[in-house]
Structures are given as structure tokens and as C-alpha cells.
Amino acid sequence: MDTRWYPGHMKKTREILRENIRLVSVVIELLDARIPFSSQNPDLNNIIGSKSRIIVLNKSDLADDTKTSRWLAFFKEKGFQAVPVNSLKGHGIKKLKTLLAELKRNSSKGKKPVRAMVIGIPNVGKSSFINSLVGKRAAKTGGKPGVTRGKQWIKISPGIELLDTPGILWPHMEDDDIVFRLAVTGAVKFEQL
């Protein structure tokens, strides 16, 4: 099955990402810890390019701990810093704040703000993650894909700003197993398949 569900707002999101990638020093890519491979949008590599990237395995409380550890080792081997996070309970948030604070210290001797773009597929928990980082409700959340429709800059602490972006899928999903996993975890609606 070649799923070709790519509505106009996803095309618009792709343009938002392309236009704003130059404004950030790091990309925080959220993946669903239950399905890291399936929830990693292959098209984003072209947009991100050589930008520094932190991988967040969100919803880690719902994933198998042993498999999550293997994924963390996999991403480390690929040269990425990866953090397991439970955005709703705040687990892993302290470690991520520490990573961002290190980036802040290293950027222009701390004088220039660290700006990070938060990206991921729909319903991976980007807004909940941002709310957990900020410590208050700064981004609208919902239990279905498509709640965030535009970009929004959010200051999480002095000198650290996040760009919340809508979820984005890739135009042609040819792997039935990936499509099924995305549907089961709520990233796409079954009726759109």
C-alpha cells in the first residue's frame, strides 16, 4: 500500500521548517519511544542537514525499557545525543534542560540565545514536551493529530527559546508496517488510510 495522505497544512509545515531552520542552532527531534524507526520522518534529514540534533524518545513510559536502551545506544553510535522522556510526568526533562544549558554556555560564550526547533510526526507529543520543559501550559495539546497548526516561539528560560512546529509526515509511505504502527499509535487516523 502506498499511502499518499499529505494535506496542504503538511506542505505548509515543510515550508515553515525550511524557512526557519537557519534561525536555530539545534533541532530537537521527537520520536515515539514505542516505534522510534517508524516515527522518524525520513524527509526531515534533507531539511535539517548538518544542524546539531538531539533525539527525544517521548512516551518512554509506554515503551519497553530494554528496547529503549538499545535505541539510545543506536542513536549514540550514530553521533546523536538521545534522551528518553515521559513528557506527562516530566521524566527525562531535567537531562534535556542540562543539554540545552550546555549548548547555551558554548554558544558565543553564553551571550547568544540558544534557539531550538522541535520537530516530529503528528501526535508524538511535541506540545506536551514543550509544556513539560517550560513548566506550564505554553503550547496547546490534544489527543489527536493536528492540534498545532502553525509555528510558535516559546521561551523556556533566559537565553533558551524553542520553536514549536506542527507535526509532519512524509508524502509517500510505502511500508505497510510503518503505516500500521503510525495508525495504532495515533499519528495518523485510520480513516485517512
Q: What is the pLDDT of residue 20?
A: 93
Q: What is the CA radius of gyration of the chain?
A: 16
Q: Is position 1 within any domain?
A: no
DSSP 38: T
How far is C-alpha 154 from the chain's CA centre?
A: 15
Q: The domain spanning residue 143 has which CATH number?
A: 3.40.50.300
Q: Is position 109 within any domain?
A: yes
Length of the chain in terms of residues written: 193
Cα–Cα separations (whole angstroms), residue 16 to 19, 36, 171: 5, 24, 16
Residue 130 lies in domain: 8-192
What is the per-residue DSSP string for 167-190? ----S-B--HHHHHHHHHTTSS-G
Q: Which residues contact 129 (CB under 8 A, 6 or more apart)?
A: 30, 56, 58, 85, 87, 118
Q: What is the pLDDT of residue 48?
A: 93
Q: Which residues contact 41 (CB under 8 A, 6 or more apart)?
A: 119, 120, 121, 168, 169, 170
* Tally of structural domains, the chain: 1
Helix ranges, the chain (H) = 8-20, 44-48, 65-77, 93-106, 126-134, 176-184
Q: Is position 3 within any domain?
A: no
Q: What is the pLDDT of residue 145?
A: 45
Q: Is position 2 within any domain?
A: no
How far is C-alpha 166 from the chain's CA centre?
A: 10
Q: Which residue has the higher pLDDT, 175 or 164?
A: 164
Q: What is the pLDDT of residues 171-188, one digit of tens each?
A: 777 788 888 888 888 887
Q: What is the mean pLDDT of the chain?
A: 84
Q: Is position 158 within any domain?
A: yes
Q: Is position 126 within any domain?
A: yes
Q: What is the pLDDT of residues 123-161, one digit of tens each?
A: 899 888 988 998 866 555 444 444 445 678 888 888 889
Q: Is position 48 within any domain?
A: yes
pTM: 0.85
Q: What is the pLDDT of residues 86-116, one digit of tens each?
A: 999 999 999 999 999 888 877 766 577 899 9
Question: Residue 67 and residue 111: Cα distance in Å, rounded?
Answer: 39
Which amino acid type is present at position 34? R
Average the pLDDT over 17-36 and give the result: 95
Q: What is the pLDDT of residue 177?
A: 86
Q: Is position 138 within any domain?
A: yes
Average the pLDDT over 4-14 and give the result: 70
